[in-house]
Amino acid sequence: MDLGILAQQIFNGLMLGVIYAMIAVGFSLFFGVLDIIKFSHGDVVTVGAFSGLGAVGLAGGLVVFSPALALAAGLAAAVAMGSLAGILIGRLLVMPLRHAPAVNVLLATLMAGTVLRETIRLGVPNGGNPKPFPALLPSGTIATGSFSVGIDSVMILCAGLSLVFATHLLITRTRLGLSIRAVAQDGEIARLSGIDFQRVVLGTFALGSALAAFAGCMLGLYYREINFSMGVLLGIIGFASAVIGGLGSLLGPIIGGFLFAGVQTLVVVLLPFSSAYKDVVAFAAIIVLIGFFPTGLIAERRSERV
């Protein structure tokens, strides 16, 4: 195979990987602070994409259209709406249900995702159909030999990587991160040492959801098209990445995200006749991997508390 095409595929895999990682980090954060899986996370990605689209349209209509300004407005709106959705789900559903059986929480968050998705489908004009996402990033390409990537893709990749890194810094270096880690380790003790439990939990929800919403905008910018049901698959991919990488750490979901994207890209490269099989193979790989690594690649260190 041509080296240039290989490099291009690797680049595509990295692009997808960073988006998956951003979604997966959220799962890991929520699991850390509350030991719950929030399955509406994928639909928060959709909320982000649609708020971004709305804000871009609004900015284009109100002020003189400048792509950079519109993009900033779109991203700000996406992050705001995403965090809001995260906080609402956390406050109204997850906090009241946190002592309920795990199945109830799973079902409740899945249903919350359905509510978000259906609200978008019914609330957005013509919401059932795919929506074009405006191209706001510079459109040039970098080409050497048979390897060519769009400048927009490079920008998306860099933005994603720096955001994941920023999250890492936030968790490890700031006071908020310290409280998140404290709550994740032991909620009761953290509360006894004067940490506002609810605020930390909701803050974590806002943080994870903001990342997901940002990822939604990045997907819109990359594929130039969004639709109301895009979150279902993304949410599951994000969750699968987090589980495969290991829910207990922040590095796990990032590795998992890149791994998942890697498998998908590999399938596309190796089975050129039908890229439709990429999800089939990726999910089959997930099912097999769980058999081999029951607690993820980076194993969770915890003992049974009876």
Contact indicator for 299, 243 with CB cutoff of 8 Å: no
CB-count burial class (<10 Å; 0-12, 13-18, 19+) for 76: middle
Choose which of 115, 143, 169, 189 interacts with another protein (CB under 8 A): 115
Question: Is residue 118 at the binding interface for another protein, with CB under 8 A as the rule?
Answer: yes
DSSP state for residue 273 in the 8-state scheme: T
Question: Is residue 151 at the binding interface for another protein, with CB under 8 A as the rule?
Answer: no
Burial 139-166 (b: 16+ CB within 10 A, else e): eeeeeeeebebbebbbebbebbbebbee
Choose which of 110, 149, 269, 297 interacts with another protein (CB under 8 A): 110
Choose which of 7, 84, 107, 195 interacts with another protein (CB under 8 A): 107
Choose which of 1, 64, 192, 287 interacts with another protein (CB under 8 A): 287
Write the CB contacts of 108 (distance below 8 Å, at least 6 apart in sequence): 93, 94, 97
- Residue count at the site for another protein (CB under 8 A)? 41
DSSP state for residue 129 in the 8-state scheme: S
Question: Is residue 271 at the binding interface for another protein, with CB under 8 A as the rule?
Answer: no
What gap in Å lies between CA 193 and CA 184, rounded to an integer? 14
* Least spacing, CB of residue 289 vs another protein, in Å: 8
Phi, psi angle pair for 132, to nearest 5°: -70, 140
Question: Is residue 129 at the binding interface for another protein, with CB under 8 A as the rule?
Answer: no
Residue 229 structure tokens: 């049901």
Question: Is residue 299 at the binding interface for another protein, with CB under 8 A as the rule?
Answer: no
Binding track over 200-239 against another protein, x by CB under 8 A: --------------------------------xx--x--x
* Least spacing, CB of residue 124 vs another protein, in Å: 14
What gap in Å lies between CA 74 and CA 58, rounded to an integer? 9
- Applying CB under 8 A, the residues found at the interface with another protein are 37, 93, 96-97, 100, 102-104, 106-108, 110-112, 114-115, 118-119, 122, 232-233, 236, 239-240, 243, 274, 276-277, 279-280, 283-284, 286-288, 290-291, 294-295, 304, 306
